[in-house]
């Protein structure tokens, strides 16, 4: 389990005092106390704080280090207690629950081997190697045994053993995966193991004092995962669960999960007939159906218009470029594990993971003057990246995707204004889709970088100044910049309060140097432009996946691939319904017709499942009047209106105002 950030107690002066005798000095809850040497953390809490059950700590930090409550304090120090309401406390509770789950699984399914079982965001998991194929039908039995283990209130007992002792323990148990982990540890290193109810696992802890502190949990999912994430290793079975400190928190989370399930873009993508991911074609590759392709086209056309309004020039580059180009750019040395390569007539090529190289070649196609700058090249460019199968997920993590990519070339004096314009562009677009967002400044990685230290300092300072000028709060994300420059990462929040990485703004002094990009300045001399890499929505696939879940498939009228469907009540109105469809098509309305010889109620229900904004019912009255009776997808009726009124209404609802 990873160690979190230490949030210390009031007062920060050093604690010092005599280390002889039977007493030591401890700072606790902002005050200093003399206590007996060897007092446990739990005894200290009971003696001085006497917390209520709901605030009873699960662990503590002793001089900044996470320890169990059973840990003895043998020298002066500072203690900060951690209760389940804190992120660290909840993580410890979940980690302890994962041990109970593994204990139950191994009892119920003899011969099963355990690998690792950490706490994760919103829960925990364990990876198992078992002859039994787990299914959700196993959950009831596993949970029942877990509750029995919890009811027994077994203490979690920590033991520190040598490497040799640990190898003997886990070899005797036949736990090959644990043995592999231990063998990789340095000679002489002390190893900790935890035991509860006779069940032992390799773990650095800490854990709750006993299994009785647990209880509010649920098993959620089963998935496959290669040992250590390497496809060359054996496929394991991962059981994922969640746990909370109260039943109320658990129920709220389970409700959230159900809502997330209802919004899942993979489920809605099938229901709305938008796309498919077919293993016959290949994992992580999206096949767009007519409605999905139309949705993409609407979004992409909208983006093209917005870029043209802001002075961008639309360009296009090839999918393949010679290997020499990728070596020159630094991608081969720093990014090749994420690339695909091929050979054409004895020449090595790389399938592009980014669009920047072609844009630099366009810039370099002729001599540039400072009067031409800034130059802003925009491409909805298809890129390919090698993602491991274990991380692929619907539309949001794929192997081929389209970026709304742009590269800007400017002078040093134009840099701040260009960054500021991009920040505003992001704000304008997020407002269209009603997304809130947060910004991070990602700085130079420790390894795999190009460019000089001065380049990185100047680029980072430029981004930071523009962020501060914008007034937008931001955090520093140390070491997470691209290999060629620092970046601003924009993380939007969706309706379920999840964060998604979409927009990014990267400042690059290095590639213009590598590709010898120049412009003629006012002084008649050659100068090096600065290059900005940026996306606004990011991956179009990911953004559409987010939109599907944001709107629960009920897209606003301007974005809906089908804005209206006309349906007749009887065969007598069939021809009129088709006339209405044709009239609206000619006016640019995206409309379909349902003139099957079926009951109207069935047609309406099917249209509602397709989440079509307008269902246009036509009967004899509407046919006589030349009108339609619109029914909205929320179930409300507008009553008879003329076709012209309907067209005006849909056009008004399809207006998207974006300031430029």
Q: Which residues are catalytic?
A: 356, 385, 403, 405, 407, 487, 533
Q: Tell me the torsion sign for CA atoms 556, 601, 272, 495.
A: positive
CA 98 to each of CA 218, 545, 606: distance values in angstroms, whole numbers, following the listed order: 11, 31, 43
Distance, in Å, from the CA atom of 112 to the CA atom of 127, rounded to the nearest integer, reads: 10
Taking phi over 0 as left and psi of -120 to 50 as alpha, with beta for the rest, 166 belongs to alpha
The Cβ-side half-sphere exposure at 195, using a 13 Å CA radius, reads 9
In the three-class reduction of DSSP (H, G, I as helix; E, B as strand; rest coil), residue 342 is classed as strand
Distance, in Å, from the CA atom of 538 to the CA atom of 534, rounded to the nearest integer, reads: 9
Closest alpha carbon to 79 in 116, 44, 27:
27
In the three-class reduction of DSSP (H, G, I as helix; E, B as strand; rest coil), residue 65 is classed as strand
What is the distance between the terminal CA atoms of the chain, rounded to a whole angstrom?
48
Angle ∠(76,78,80) on CA atoms, nearest 5 = 150
Contacts for 86 with CB less than 8 Å, ≥ 6 apart: none
Q: Which helix (H) or strand (E) holds 62?
A: strand 59-62
Residue whose entry in the numeric block shows the structure tokens 């790389």: 350
Burial string for 572-605 (b: 16+ CB within 10 Å, else e) reads ebbebbebbbebbeeeebbbbbbbeeeebeebbe
CB 616 within 8 A of CB 645: no
User: Is the peptide bond preceding residue 657 cis, with omega within 30 degrees of 0?
Assistant: no
Extract the tokens encoding 493. 């929040």
Distance, in Å, from the CA atom of 406 to the CA atom of 384, rounded to the nearest integer, reads: 17
Residue whose entry in the numeric block shows the structure tokens 């069935």: 602
Distance, in Å, from the CA atom of 154 to the CA atom of 206, rounded to the nearest integer, reads: 15
**Residues paired with 471 in a beta bridge:** none
Question: Going edge to edge, which strands form the sheet with 530-539?
Answer: 313-314, 375-384, 400-410, 530-539, 499-508, 487-493, 436-442, 474-477
List, as one string, the DSSP characters of 201-229.
EE------SBGGG--EEEEEEEEEEEGGG
Distance, in Å, from the CA atom of 273 to the CA atom of 265, rounded to the nearest integer, reads: 11
285: DSSP letter: -
Distance, in Å, from the CA atom of 307 to the CA atom of 296, rounded to the nearest integer, reads: 16
In the three-class reduction of DSSP (H, G, I as helix; E, B as strand; rest coil), residue 125 is classed as strand
């Amino acid at each position: 389990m990873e160690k979190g950030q230490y949030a210390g107690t009031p007062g920060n002066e050093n604690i010092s005092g005599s280390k002889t005798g039977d007493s030591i000095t401890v700072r606790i809850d902002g005050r200093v106390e003399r206590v007996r040497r060897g007092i446990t953390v739990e005894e200290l809490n009971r003696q001085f704080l006497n917390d209520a059950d709901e605030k009873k700590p699960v662990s503590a930090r002793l001089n900044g280090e996470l320890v169990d409550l059973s840990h003895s304090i043998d020298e002066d120090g500072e203690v900060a207690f951690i209760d389940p309401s804190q992120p660290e406390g909840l993580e410890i509770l979940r980690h302890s629950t994962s041990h109970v789950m593994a204990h139950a699984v191994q009892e119920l399914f003899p011969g099963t081997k355990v690998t690792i079982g950490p706490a994760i965001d919103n829960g925990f998991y364990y990876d198992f190697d078992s002859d039994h194929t787990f299914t959700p039908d196993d959950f009831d039995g596993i949970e029942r045994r877990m509750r029995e283990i919890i009811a027994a209130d077994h203490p979690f007992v920590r033991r520190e053993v040598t490497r040799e002792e640990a190898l003997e323990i886990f070899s005797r148990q036949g736990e090959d995966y644990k043995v592999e982990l231990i063998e990789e540890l340095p000679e002489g290193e002390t190893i900790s193991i935890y035991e509860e109810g006779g069940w032992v696992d390799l773990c650095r802890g800490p854990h709750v004092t006993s299994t009785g502190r647990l209880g509010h949990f649920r098993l959620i999912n089963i998935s496959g995962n290669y040992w250590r994430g390497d496809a060359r290793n054996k496929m394991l079975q991962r059981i994922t669960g969640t746990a909370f400190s109260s039943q109320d928190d658990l129920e709220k989370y389970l409700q959230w999960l159900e809502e997330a399930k209802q919004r899942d873009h993979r489920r809605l993508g099938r229901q709305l007939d938008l796309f498919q991911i077919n293993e016959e074609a290949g994992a992580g590759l999206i096949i767009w159906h007519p409605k999905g392709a139309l949705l993409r086209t609407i979004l992409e056309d909208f983006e093209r218009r917005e870029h043209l309004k802001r002075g961008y020039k639309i360009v296009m580059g090839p999918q393949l470029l010679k290997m020499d180009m990728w070596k020159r750019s630094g991608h081969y040395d720093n990014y090749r594990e994420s690339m695909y390569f091929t050979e054409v007539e004895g020449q090595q090529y790389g399938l592009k993971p980014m669009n920047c190289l072609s844009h630099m070649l366009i810039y370099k196609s002729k001599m540039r003057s400072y009067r031409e700058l800034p130059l802003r090249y925009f491409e909805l460019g298809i890129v390919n990246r090698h993602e491991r199968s274990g991380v692929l997920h619907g539309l949001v993590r794929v192997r081929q995707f389209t970026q709304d990519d742009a590269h800007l070339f400017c002078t040093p004096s134009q840099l701040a204004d260009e960054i500021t314009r991009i920040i505003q562009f992001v704000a304008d677009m997020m407002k269209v889709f009603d997304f809130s967002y947060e910004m991070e400044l990602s700085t130079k990685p420790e390894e795999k970088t190009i460019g000089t230290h001065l380049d990185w300092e100047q680029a980072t300072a430029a981004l930071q100044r523009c962020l501060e000028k914008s007034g937008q709060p931001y955090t520093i994300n140390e070491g997470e910049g691209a290999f060629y420059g620092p970046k601003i990462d924009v993380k939007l929040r969706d309706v379920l309060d999840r964060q998604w990485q979409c927009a990014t703004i990267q400042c690059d002094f290095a590639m213009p140097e590598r590709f010898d990009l120049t412009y003629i300045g006012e002084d008649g001399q050659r100068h090096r432009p600065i290059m900005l890499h940026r996306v606004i929505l990011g991956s179009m696939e990911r953004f559409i996946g987010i939109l599907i879940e944001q709107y629960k498939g009920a897209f606003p009228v301007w974005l809906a691939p089908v804005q209206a469907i006309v349906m007749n009540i009887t065969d007598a109105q069939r021809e009129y319904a088709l006339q209405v469809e044709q009239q609206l098509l000619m006016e640019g309305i995206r409309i379909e017709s349902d003139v099957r010889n079926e009951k109207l109620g069935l047609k309406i229900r099917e249209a509602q499942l397709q989440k079509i904004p307008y269902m246009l019912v036509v009967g004899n009255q509407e046919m006589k009047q030349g009108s339609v009776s619109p029914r909205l997808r929320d179930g409300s009726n507008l009553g008879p209106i003329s076709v012209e009124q309907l067209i005006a209404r849909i056009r008004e609802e399809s207006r998207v105002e974006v300031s430029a």
